[in-house]
Structure 1
Amino acid sequence: MVINNKSYQLVLSTYPDSETAKKTAISLVNAQYAACVNVIPKLISIYKWQEKIKYEEECLLLVKSRSDYYSLVEEMIRTQHPYDLPEIIAVPIEVGLNGYLAWIDKALSQ
């Protein structure tokens, strides 16, 4: 969604545990790269890695930010993430409550 020429996005990243995920979430909010980060614990991820099917319990970060902050968000996740190849996926927010999106702007500019 674009308001005042700003586009908003949700960045997703999985982590091996909630403590590691919380550290990155706090860093993102403290740096004002994200307005809010949800840590969703106890996901089961099923994927193929190095020719083997893996089943892992992970946590998911949902990072609410803007697309012009993506490179900052990505860099912080990459530098703090324990995985060699972390999942970092940005999804555009197509529709959102105007007041909530304005709150994101305010949180990123304080």
Structure 2
Amino acid sequence: MSDPDRVLLCYCTCPNPASAQHLAETLVRESLAACVNRIAGIQSTYRWKGEVTSDSEELLLIKTTAGQFEALKERLLAVHPYELPELIAVPVERGHAAYLEWVRAAGGD
């Protein structure tokens, strides 16, 4: 399997349900992600501009491929309300083969 076909699991936090839903729908509608799961009610503690801050956020779990990542990143940065959005991609080493093939195929729709 070539590198562009490698399945990635991307993490992204959003400040509220509306922005999370908008981002999830945009990425799937534009075939940049096969699926986006939203996890509500997470608490994030982080340092921002010299201050320790805690906020409620929604976590997005974005399934895509390495070949789609740059386009996904550009779109996410354009749509996301944060000044510095979180976007972390982790390669999927193993999984249900049929599901991983679906993720690969869904990016081309």
Q: Above 0.5 in TM-score?
A: yes
Which residue number in structure 1 is paired with residue 95 of structure 2? 96
Structure 2 stretches lacking a partner, 5+ long: none
- CA positional deviation for 1:96: 1.1
Cα distance in 1 for partners of 2:50, 2:105 equals 45
Q: Following superposition, which runs of at least 4 residues in structure 1 exceed 2 angstroms of deviation?
A: none
Which residue number in structure 2 is paired with residue 32 of structure 1? 31
Which residue number in structure 1 is paired with residue 40 of structure 2? 41
Identity %: 36
1:1-110 equivalences under 5 Å are 4-5=1-2, 6-110=5-109
Aligned residues: 107
Cα distance in 2 for partners of 1:33, 1:74 equals 9
- CA positional deviation for 1:90: 0.6
TM-score, structure 2 normalization = 0.94
Cα distance in 2 for partners of 1:105, 1:82 equals 28
RMSD: 0.9
1:49-83: CA deviation from partner (whole Å, max 9, x where unpaired):
11111010000111000011111111111001111
- CA positional deviation for 1:106: 2.1
SS at match of 1:32: coil
Cα distance in 2 for partners of 1:17, 1:56 equals 10
Cα distance in 2 for partners of 1:108, 1:81 equals 20
Q: What amino acid sits opposite 1:49 in the alignment? A: W
- CA positional deviation for 1:42: 1.1
TM-score, structure 1 normalization = 0.93
